C-alpha cells in the first residue's frame, strides 16, 4: 500500500500501526514515514528503528493529551502526530503540547462533503481549524494619540498599520504563528534582542505573546 501511495504522488507515509517492513521500505527510499503507536512498548520499537516522529493513534481512546504529557518526560526526543478523536473542540489542547508535531482528523474533510463537491464547506472547516490552531487574541494596541480611528479587527489589515503603532497578540504557539504570518507575506528579520522581526511592523517575542 505504501508503494501504491508513493507511485500516486505521496511524499510521506502515515500508517495506523507500526509495520517494520513498511518503515524499512520507506527509510531505504528516504521517504518520511510516521507509523502509529499507542503504548510505550510500541514507541520503543519505533525508536529502535531510528524514528523520533510518530503518529499517536487512536489518540483519545489511548489517553489523549494526558497520555502525551506523561510520555514527554521519558521520551524527550519524540514528537507525536495525534489522530483519532481529534475535533475542533479539542484541537488546541493537543497543539499546545511541545511534543506535538501536528494533528490529524477526518472532521476537517468529511467524505460526504467531498462526494457532494462542497469544497466551500471544506474550506470553511479549514479556516475554523486555522483559527483554533493560533487563537490570536488582541492584548494591546498602541498608536499616536491624535489618531482616533477604531481598533482594527482584521489581522491582515492590522498588520499593515505602520511603524508608529504596535500590536500585541496572544497566540497558542509562537513558531506556528510566525509560519502563518510569513505565508501572509511578512518576512522575518534578525533582531539584536534575539526576537524575530516581521517586516515591516515589529517583532514576535520568544514567549506565548506576539508583538507587532
What pLDDT, in 10s, does the model give residues 4-21? 999 999 999 999 999 999
Residue 5 maps to a domain:
yes
Q: With contact defined as beta carbons under 8 Å apart, do 212 and 178 qualify?
A: no
91 shares a domain with 164: no
d(CA 201, CA 93): 30
94 shares a domain with 3: yes
Residue 173 maps to a domain:
yes
Domain that holds residue 22: 1-104
96 shares a domain with 46: yes
154 shares a domain with 87: no
Number of compact structural domains in the chain: 2
DSSP labels, 44-64: HHHHHTT--EEEETTTTTTTH
**Per-residue pLDDT tens digits for 21-68:** 999 999 999 999 999 999 999 999 999 999 999 999 999 999 999 999
Whole-prediction pTM = 0.75
Backbone angles phi, psi at 141, to 5 degrees: -140, 120
Q: With contact defined as beta carbons under 8 Å apart, do 19 and 33 qualify?
A: no
Starting from the edge strand earliest in sequence, which strands make up the sheet with 36-37, in order? Answer: 36-37, 53-56, 79-82
Q: With contact defined as beta carbons under 8 Å apart, do 31 and 13 qualify?
A: yes
Amino acid at each position: 500500500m505504501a508503494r501504491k501511495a508513493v507511485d500516486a504522488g505521496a511524499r510521506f507515509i502515515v500508517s495506523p500501526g507500526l509495520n517494520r517492513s513498511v518503515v524499512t521500505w520507506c527509510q531505504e527510499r528516504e521517504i518520511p514515514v510516521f507509523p502509529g503507536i499507542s503504548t510505550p512498548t510500541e514507541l520503543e520499537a519505533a525508536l529502535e528503528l531510528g524514528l523520533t516522529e510518530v503518529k499517536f493513534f487512536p489518540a483519545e481512546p489511548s489517553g489523549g493529551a494526558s497520555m502525551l504529557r506523561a510520555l514527554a518526560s521519558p521520551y524527550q526526543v519524540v514528537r507525536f502526530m495525534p489522530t483519532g478523536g481529534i475535533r475542533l473542540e479539542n484541537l488546541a489542547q493537543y497543539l499546545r503540547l511541545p511534543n506535538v508535531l501536528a494533528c490529524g482528523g477526518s472532521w476537517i474533510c468529511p467524505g460526504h462533503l467531498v462526494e457532494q463537491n462542497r469544497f466551500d464547506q471544506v474550506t470553511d472547516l479549514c479556516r475554523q481549524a486555522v483559527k483554533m490552531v493560533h487563537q490570536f487574541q488582541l492584548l494591546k494596541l498602541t498608536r499616536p494619540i491624535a489618531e482616533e480611528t477604531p481598533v482594527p479587527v482584521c489581522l491582515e489589515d492590522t498588520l499593515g498599520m505602520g511603524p508608529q503603532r504596535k500590536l500585541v497578540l496572544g497566540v497558542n504557539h509562537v513558531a506556528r504563528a510566525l509560519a502563518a504570518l510569513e505565508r501572509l507575506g511578512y518576512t522575518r528579520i534578525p533582531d539584536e534582542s534575539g526576537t524575530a522581526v516581521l517586516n515591516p511592523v515589529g517583532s514576535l517575542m520568544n514567549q506565548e505573546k506576539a508583538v507587532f
